[in-house]
Chains A and B, each alone.
Chain A
Amino acid sequence: MAEDLLIIASSPHIRAKDTVQSIMYSVAIALLPAVAAGVYFFGWYALAIVLVSIGSAVAAEVVWQKLRGQALRVSDGSAIVTGLLLAMNLPPTAPLWMAALGSAVAIIIGKQVYGGLGANPFNPALVGRVFLTASFPMLMTKWALPAGYDAIASATPLAVMKAGGTVPLTNLFFGSIPGCLGETSALALLIGGIYLLIKGHIDYRIVTGIFGSVVVLSLLMGLDPVAQLLAGGLMLGALFMATDMVTSPVTPKGRWVFGIGVGLLVMLIRNGAGMPEGVSFSILLMNAAVPLINRTTRPRIYGR
């Protein structure tokens, strides 16, 4: 009788509670304050963008897996996270078809063609964002003013700062600034980020590496470090995009290198290149370096 048989298996006989699914859902939950901030500042249309983006990501994954005859694994929640992150990277004026297209590209080109979950070298949401920026540059930079705020003209804070202007830090912190849907409130992002740090779902080395190098470089360049941290996509990128497990290094030292690398590149692009913002590109560039970083930063084995 099967129910009387003892289970034989190789140790360990117990496993930790976290699963891929529980991690993905935690990340989604951690993004909710930022979604709420987006809706608060930009109105219900922001929510529509988020929902369409998630829906399209999930649909793209299901269709792909069906067509390729693979087992359906949308329930792991990673498509939801990708869709959500892509929406966070869109301007609040983005047309819904663009959100849908970006998400589908993120899932298919950013993840599935490499073999699906765990196999993609680049952060899928960033692949989607870069695709949209390259294809529809005008639509991707049409910033809206937060409802009820008219302090600054329609340039993003970074553009203002680059042009020599200043932006009140409290606006940057709470979110009353033009910018991407999910970038607007540093406070909301920090709440989610701290939640994930406590749960151990994002790595403190990457986050510290990015923030630390940005602060140090700002001081060296004579810029206001707080403004540099709070402005643009840095919070979102540092807390939610660079820390993507799949596309960051697995070695402890490697994660320091990766974080510091992202921070350096961000400051270089912001202040050297012709673009005010460079978080996405910095992360993608460092994603490309991950195999090399992993190979060169292997931990020293005990006793060797």
Chain B
Amino acid sequence: MASKTFRGGVHLNYHKELTNQKPLINVDASDVVIIPLKMHIGQEASPIVKKGDRVLVGQKIGDTSAFVGVPVHSSVSGEVQKIDTTLLPNGLRGLAVFIKNDGQYELDPSIKPKASLEELSSREIVDIVREAGIVGLGGATFPTHVKLCVPEGKDVDYLLVNGAECEPYLTCDHRIMLERTDELFYGIEAAARACGAEHIKICIEDNKKDCIELLAKRCGPNCEVVALETKYPQGGEKQLIKAVLNREVPSGTLPYEVGVVVINVGTAVAIAEAIQKGMPLVKRAVSVTGDIVNNPGNFIVPIGTTMDKLLDIVGGTKEPIGRIIYGGPMMGTSIHETDEPVVKGTSGILVLGRNESPLIGEPDPCIRCARCVDHCPMHLMPNMLERLVSKEELDKAKKMGLNDCIECGCCSYVCPSKRHLVQWIRVGKMELIARKKREDQKIASKAIETA
């Protein structure tokens, strides 16, 4: 059967062969781990430890009462050095707990297996997932318990398990599917119970034939493996739902609106760990890769481990480094310093040489070639959005779908004039948020005045 797909998107050079045969290897944390209190979408956690405290592996060190937000746990045992701001991979500054790693990896006594799946209610599973600090590990870092907690009145019939891994270079999900198959199926079952989905589809791009074969053999009666065309951004939630179920998530809503919950394969394994071992999310699989890297590979990395440690493990690079990217080359963020930590959303560390990724100067004028329009997986007109945002006509841009953009970067990728399309769109979206904040403040201060 032909592999399924969506309309738009791009075919890329995948470079997956660098690491797709490299098994996951456990690595030690760096001597000091830096654990940011916001590694997810939503409310930042507040620290609940202080300088000088001794913390243990899996111990909660930060929490929040907000529904959209998750707690944060220590990935090592050792002493809290300080709580200070640090540069986060998204380029912003945020609070982080700095812990001196004592190398003992002593477990927190609270880490105990939970009840068996059959005994757990869906509510209990959602609570366990939240308490374990689990977020979408594909890179989006949306709190998983929020996804699983389907609002009253909405019915979810499908759980899609995202093993597309459509970003070039990254192979950690590929390895998880091959090596952590038992936990994967356990986590999938738990997630399906929690959100009430009857049908499960495990979605994998057809460049991972070994995973498709292996997982198809293990699927139960309500479960199916779906082969997807290898095309970026096939792993985008909306593109996945369109390709597999031919449903479209209405603009501005979440997938449960059309009866779907999507979780990443790594997230499913994290859910299994949280139930089977009681272990919160303190480690994740990371591909450290790039053509200039000496020994690229896949690693299970304690969260908070700094990047220089990982660069050491892979034996450095053959050439001077141009960019270090957290995530893949299409949506990842380039970082300033090598002492930044691995966070929950770090699916890969991609090291590009200076020639592989030169800075792009002044772009050429738009030649209206329509490539950006043809390739946009959301069927937007990026050329128009760029023009409207740069002319500050945000209302028009909004009407033309500014907020529907998933920032996949296909438009900038294909543009022969090398225009900064998605970059301008991001500027526009941020400006819209800022504008809304200003308006809210105005309303609030008016309310105070009239009170």
Contact = CB atoms under 8 A, between A and B. Distances in A.
Nearest to A76: B364
B420 interface: yes
A245 B330 contact: no
Given A12-B331, A252-B374, A301-B251, A7 B379 contact: no
B369 interface: yes
B416 A23 contact: yes
B423 A10 contact: yes
A116 to B, nearest CB: 7
Contact of A303 (B251, B366, B400): B251
A14 B336 contact: no
Interface in A1-33: 3-4, 6-16, 18-20, 22-23
B96 to A, nearest CB: 20
Contacts of A13: 323, 325, 329-330, 332, 334, 350, 352, 357
A11 B381 contact: no
Interface stretch (B216-224, B406-414, B437-445): B406-414
> Interface size bucket, A side?
35 or more
A101 interface: no
Contact of B369 (A10, A15, A76, A245): A245
A9 B248 CA distance: 32
A239 B142 CA distance: 48
B413 A6 contact: no
A6 B418 contact: no
B367 A302 contact: no
Contacts of B367: 20, 23, 117-118, 245-246
Interface string A271-298: 0000000000000000000000000001
Nearest to B251: A303
Interface string A115-136: 0111100000000000000000
A10 B426 contact: yes
A16 B426 CA distance: 20
A300 interface: yes
B378 A301 contact: yes
Nearest to A254: B370
A125 to B, nearest CB: 15
Given A19-B416, A302-B242, A303-B404, A11 B383 contact: no
A280 B377 CA distance: 35
Interface string B342-369: 0000000010101011011000111111
A203 interface: yes
A300 B369 contact: no
A249 B373 CA distance: 11
Contact of B334 (A9, A117, A247): A9
Contacts, number: 157
A6 B404 contact: no
Interface in B390-413: 400-401, 404, 407, 409, 412-413
A3 B367 CA distance: 34
A300 B379 contact: yes
Interface string A226-241: 0000000000000000
Nearest to A303: B251
Given A6-B322, A251-B370, A118 B365 contact: yes
Contacts of B373: 250-252, 299
Contacts of B337: 6
Nearest to B409: A12
Given A14-B413, A20-B364, A300-B379, A8 B336 contact: yes
Nearest to B370: A250
A68 interface: no
Given A6-B324, A13-B332, A302 B414 contact: no
Given A9-B359, A18-B416, A302 B368 contact: no
B412 A12 contact: yes
A276 B366 CA distance: 36
26 contacts: A3-B320, A6-B322, A6-B323, A6-B336, A7-B322, A9-B359, A10-B423, A12-B412, A13-B329, A13-B352, A15-B412, A18-B414, A19-B417, A118-B367, A248-B368, A249-B370, A250-B373, A251-B381, A252-B374, A299-B381, A301-B404, A302-B238, A302-B242, A302-B378, A303-B378, A304-B250
Interface of A: 3-4, 6-16, 18-20, 22-23, 73, 76, 116-119, 203, 245-252, 255, 298-304
Give the 6 A-B residue pairs with the shortest CB-CB distance, closest first. A12-B409, A118-B365, A250-B370, A245-B369, A303-B251, A299-B379
